[in-house]
């Protein structure tokens, strides 16, 4: 059990809580927003910029890293933290969501999912055990079991089938992780671990030689290799917008006891009100003393609304993807920066914002960068948007610590 | 006369010198390398990163800024420094090189150059006076007159024609600048200045209102608007690789007395040895007490070799453009980072480098970023390459200050 979750403040009226999530790579303050670093990089940001923004934990996509550069490569290089030079916590997803949503011709069987790479069309098979194996190789702090996420709308039968399959896969994932954990980290003891290609020495030796190589440099790349982490596995609740199925799914994962619980299958097309209702309903079925993670959500409003429904962790591509499309989140709503009306506007993206971008650059300049197709446009807007999200979470947490969440919540609602 | 050039150390044997270039936006230590910020941004770098790298002066391209966002826009927004939030010195070229080299159907007449925009095919006319007017609007510290640069190889007649035309255009540029300077900065007194569109107030008022607008923000974007700068005009020497024509061109510009002298028409295809020889021959014809700028040069070796030939200033797209193509300059030569052999290499781009990139990231990670098409690959490699150039110049300057340039020079030669 690598994860310790400590609740430091709670809002009686709503069940919103502020906590501390103790991970092998440090303590994460919750509620927390996790920027998405799909391929081991948050697009356009340096790791130093993320640290400066106060990003405490990243999400990385197993599917993408599995295909490129490959999980054996990352394992040999000492795991994802070391590979991408990010010393703070990382959560990896199972890869299942991408397999099923990237239209990679994912074909679900009892054993797992067959899919074709979006890069070269090659065929791959992802099973609950494989998903654990790959994530152990990546070495994240928090890992997710393979699940089946059904798009909205779907028949009750389809959702029920997914709930049951997700439950059976959760058990297999848990059992596989338990088996591999007895034999040390980095997934070396995992049943399915293939022999390391090219007759290279096993990872532990590679790590040692890499480390001594590093100390020969004037400038070491990263801090010394941390001990092989013990990842924490979360359980995923499916069930679409059907409360009965959500309850069934909760019961199935609770029986297995996970270190945290994730709400999957939301924000996949259902009306916002239903999403909030299902999140609230599901969260209150989960144990108080474990972190709750709402996968793939959401807008700045969603963050407040779902913290108010008992959620502790979020991830979403919105702040980063919108930024690359020239859409900035601001205290006055979205700013579509390419708009002609900003061509001569000297004010920053958000006059109320104190981020490094708003302290230095004007809307007119950032608009020019987008119009001219310059990378710096996406870089600055990403930095600003991530600051907006991180800052929003910081303010939510502060309001919880000082007993003012209700006020924050109602003010946020009136502004939305 | 806005520019004061002070020589602080000289190498007797070669004529290499270390100096201080006093500009309206601060003091530049020479010899200096100017990164190219084509459209008002050094591709992939934030202005803060450039400052941290120790970049002292940027080059911006008049041609690109003239077309987009337009020089009236930049003038209204308080000039290029303010627009791009770069408080340090800027040099702008005349636009002529792009007009003639971007194959924009540039047609040279006695009056100037007709060209078509590479963006929308629209027709434009650039005269010596227009080039000054546009650059005054941009508000750079150092500006360049329109010249005709001939590709290599060229007939003696073509080069001679260009030398003469460049001389006549230099006179017109100088006279135009003198006429406009009497009436205040920002090009408002320039003969050809069109009325400001949309009946907006003249720039001085715009600046004031912009300034008071800024102080109403919690976070001012930039430092207070500096006084309208008095730009320094350099003279450009053409003449290809023909020493006789170079001498004629030097004589023509010296007669007009400029605040600095630029060597144009080099690094356009001629053999390296000829480039060095012509640079040396030309530099020694120029007055000792004025800065000498070798336009568009060059490789790291070129920097040392041309400082040894009396050059003080350089600009080149090599470090930034190569970086975006995945080619890193290192103490061990070029590293083509996409090469498969780096896939599992934990050492930094350059083990001897102390830049923020080499202190943190491995070759394997940066290779992965390029292979995956991630922006961060270009960002990190650009940051490293610029550090390599800036650091190289810093070391050259140090060797001059401490009387060790000959040693530095011969060591650089033996490593090349």
- SS3 per-residue string spanning A309-363: CCCCEEECCHHHHHHHCCEEEECCEEEECCCHHHCCCCCCCCCCCCCHHHHHCCH
pLDDT score recorded for residue A205: 34
Beta strands in B136-266 (DSSP E): 142-143, 232-237, 260-263
CB A130 within 8 A of CB A192: yes
Q: Nearest residue of B to residue A46 by CA position? A: B376
Q: How many beta-carbon contacts under 8 Å exist across A and B? A: 159
Which residues are bridge partners to B33 per DSSP? Answer: B314
Which uninterrupted H or E stretch holds A279?
A: helix A272-283
Which uninterrupted H or E stretch holds B251?
A: helix B243-256
Look at strands A260-263 and A292-294 and give their pairing: parallel
Q: How far is CA A186 from the centre of its chain?
A: 20
Confidence of residue B106 (pLDDT cuts 50, 70, 90): confident
CB B246 within 8 A of CB B239: yes
Between residues A150 and B251, which one has the greater pLDDT?
A: B251
Is B317 exposed, middle or buried, given 0-12, 13-18 or 19+ CB atoms closer than 10 A? middle
Does the distance separating the beta carbons of A76 and B368 come in below 8 Å? no
Structure tokens at B91: 């040099």
B46 touches chain A (CB under 8 A): yes
CA distance B54 to B46: 13
Does the distance separating the beta carbons of B368 and A68 come in below 8 Å? yes
pLDDT score recorded for residue B206: 35
Residue of A219, A223, A363 to mutate for B, most B C-beta atoms under 10 A:
A219
- DSSP symbol at B243: H
CA distance A326 to B239: 46
CA distance B318 to A198: 37
Beta strands in A31-84 (DSSP E): 32-34, 58-60
Structure tokens at B132: 């000054």
* Strand, helix or coil for residue B234: strand
Instruction: Tell me, yes or no, if A11 is annotated catalytic.
Output: no
* Most confident stretch, A211-225, A325-339, B168-182, B219-233: A325-339
Per-residue pLDDT at B88 exceeds 70: yes
CA distances from A87 to A84, A96, A119, A384 (A): 9, 26, 29, 22
Per-residue exposure over B88-127, b if at least 16 CB sit within 10 Å of its own CB, e if not: bbbbbbbbbbbbbeeebebebeeebbbbbeeeeeeebebb
Could you write out the DSSP letters of every residue in A357-381? HHHH--HHHHHHHHHTT-HHHHHHH
Q: By mean pLDDT, which of A249-258, B56-65, B101-110, B383-392 is the weakest?
A: B101-110
CA distances from B48 to A359, A361, B302 (A): 11, 11, 28
Does the distance separating the beta carbons of B375 and A43 come in below 8 Å? yes
Could you write out the DSSP letters of every residue in A113-156? EEEE-TTT--EEEE-HHHHHHHHHHHT-SEE------PPSS--H
pLDDT score recorded for residue A353: 98
Long-range CB contacts (< 8 A, 24+ apart) of A167-172? A167/A249, A167/A252, A167/A253, A168/A110, A169/A112, A169/A128, A169/A145, A170/A128, A170/A145, A170/A235, A170/A236, A170/A252, A170/A253, A170/A256, A170/A258, A171/A256, A172/A127, A172/A128, A172/A129
Q: Nearest residue of A to residue B360 by CA position? A: A221
Does the distance separating the beta carbons of B69 and A368 come in below 8 Å? yes
* Strand, helix or coil for residue A43: coil
Does the distance separating the beta carbons of B219 and A348 come in below 8 Å? yes
pLDDT score recorded for residue B369: 98
User: Which chain A residues have a beta carbon less than 8 Å from that of B331?
Assistant: none
Q: Nearest residue of A to residue B217 by CA position? A: A351
SS3 content of chain A, % helix, strand, coil (to 5): 45, 15, 40
- Report the complex ipTM: 0.91
Distance (Å) from the alpha carbon of B368 to chain A's nearest alpha carbon: 6
CB B237 within 8 A of CB B253: yes
B222 touches chain A (CB under 8 A): yes
* Strand, helix or coil for residue B293: strand
pLDDT 10s digit of each residue in chain A, 416 long?
A: 569 999 999 999 999 999 999 999 999 999 999 999 999 999 999 999 999 999 999 999 999 999 999 999 999 999 999 999 999 999 999 998 888 877 556 789 999 999 989 899 999 999 999 999 999 999 999 999 999 999 899 999 999 999 999 999 999 999 999 998 765 444 443 334 333 333 333 333 333 333 333 333 333 444 555 555 689 999 999 999 999 999 999 999 999 999 999 999 999 999 999 999 999 999 999 999 999 999 999 999 999 999 999 999 999 999 999 999 999 999 999 999 999 999 999 999 999 999 999 999 999 999 999 999 999 999 999 999 999 999 999 999 999 999 999 999 999 999 87
Does the distance separating the beta carbons of A359 and B221 come in below 8 Å? yes
Closest CA to B345 of B371, B326, B368, B325: B368
Distance (Å) from the alpha carbon of A203 to chain B's nearest alpha carbon: 12
pLDDT score recorded for residue B188: 43
pLDDT score recorded for residue B355: 98
Residue of A63, A198, A372 to mutate for B, most B C-beta atoms under 10 A:
A372
What's the mean pLDDT in B34-56?
Answer: 98
CB B324 within 8 A of CB A373: no
Kindly calculate the radius of gyration of chain A based on its CA atoms and give it in whole angstroms. 21
User: Which chain A residues have a beta carbon less than 8 Å from that of B330?
Assistant: none
pLDDT tens profile B192-213: 433 333 333 333 333 333 333 3
- DSSP symbol at B342: G
- Counts of helices then strands in chain A (DSSP H, E): 16, 16
Between residues A96 and B298, which one has the greater pLDDT?
A: B298
Structure tokens at B139: 């508000």
């Amino acid at each position: 059990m690598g994860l310790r979750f400590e609740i430091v403040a709670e809002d009686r009226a709503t069940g919103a809580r502020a906590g501390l999530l103790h991970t092998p790579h440090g303590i994460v303050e919750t509620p927390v927003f996790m920027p998405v670093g799909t391929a081991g990089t948050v697009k356009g940001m340096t790791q130093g910029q993320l640290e400066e923004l106060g990003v405490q934990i990243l999400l990385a996509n197993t599917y993408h890293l599995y295909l490129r550069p490959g999980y054996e490569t990352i394992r040999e290089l000492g795991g994802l933290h070391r590979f991408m030079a990010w010393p703070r916590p990382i959560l990896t997803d199972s890869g299942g969501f991408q397999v099923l949503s990237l239209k990679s011709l994912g074909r679900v069987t009892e054993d797992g999912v067959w899919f074709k790479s979006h890069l070269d069309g090659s065929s791959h098979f992802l099973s609950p055990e494989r998903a654990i194996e790959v994530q152990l190789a990546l070495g994240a702090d928090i890992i997710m079991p393979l699940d089946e996420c059904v798009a909205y709308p779907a028949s009750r039968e389809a959702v029920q089938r997914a709930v049951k399959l997700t439950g059976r896969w959760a058990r297999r994932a848990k059992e596989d992780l338990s088996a591999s954990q007895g034999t040390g980290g980095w997934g070396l003891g995992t049943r399915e671990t293939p022999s390391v290609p090219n007759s290279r020495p096993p990872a532990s030796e590679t790590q040692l030689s890499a480390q001594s190589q590093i100390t020969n440099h004037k400038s070491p790349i990263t801090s010394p290799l941390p001990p092989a982490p013990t990842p924490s596995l979360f359980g995923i609740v499916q069930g679409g917008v059907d409360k009965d199925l959500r309850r069934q799914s909760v019961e199935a994962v609770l029986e297995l006891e996970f270190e945290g619980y994730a709400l999957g299958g939301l924000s996949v097309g259902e009306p916002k009100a239903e999403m909030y209702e299902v999140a609230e309903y599901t969260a209150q079925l989960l144990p108080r003393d474990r972190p709750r993670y709402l996968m793939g959500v959401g807008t700045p409003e969603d963050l407040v609304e779902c913290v108010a429904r008992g959620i502790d962790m979020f991830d979403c591509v919105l702040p980063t993807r919108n930024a690359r499309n020239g859409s900035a989140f601001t205290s006055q709503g979205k700013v579509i920066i390419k708009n002609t009306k900003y061509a001569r506007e000297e004010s920053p993206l958000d006059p109320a914002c104190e981020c490094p971008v708003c302290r230095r650059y004007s809307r007119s300049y950032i608009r020019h960068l987008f119009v001219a197709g310059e990378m710096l446009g996406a870089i600055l807007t990403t930095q600003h948007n991530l600051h907006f999200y991180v800052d929003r979470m910081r303010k939510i947490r502060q309001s919880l610590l000082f007993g003012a969440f209700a006020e924050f919540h109602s003010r946020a609602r009136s502004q939305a």
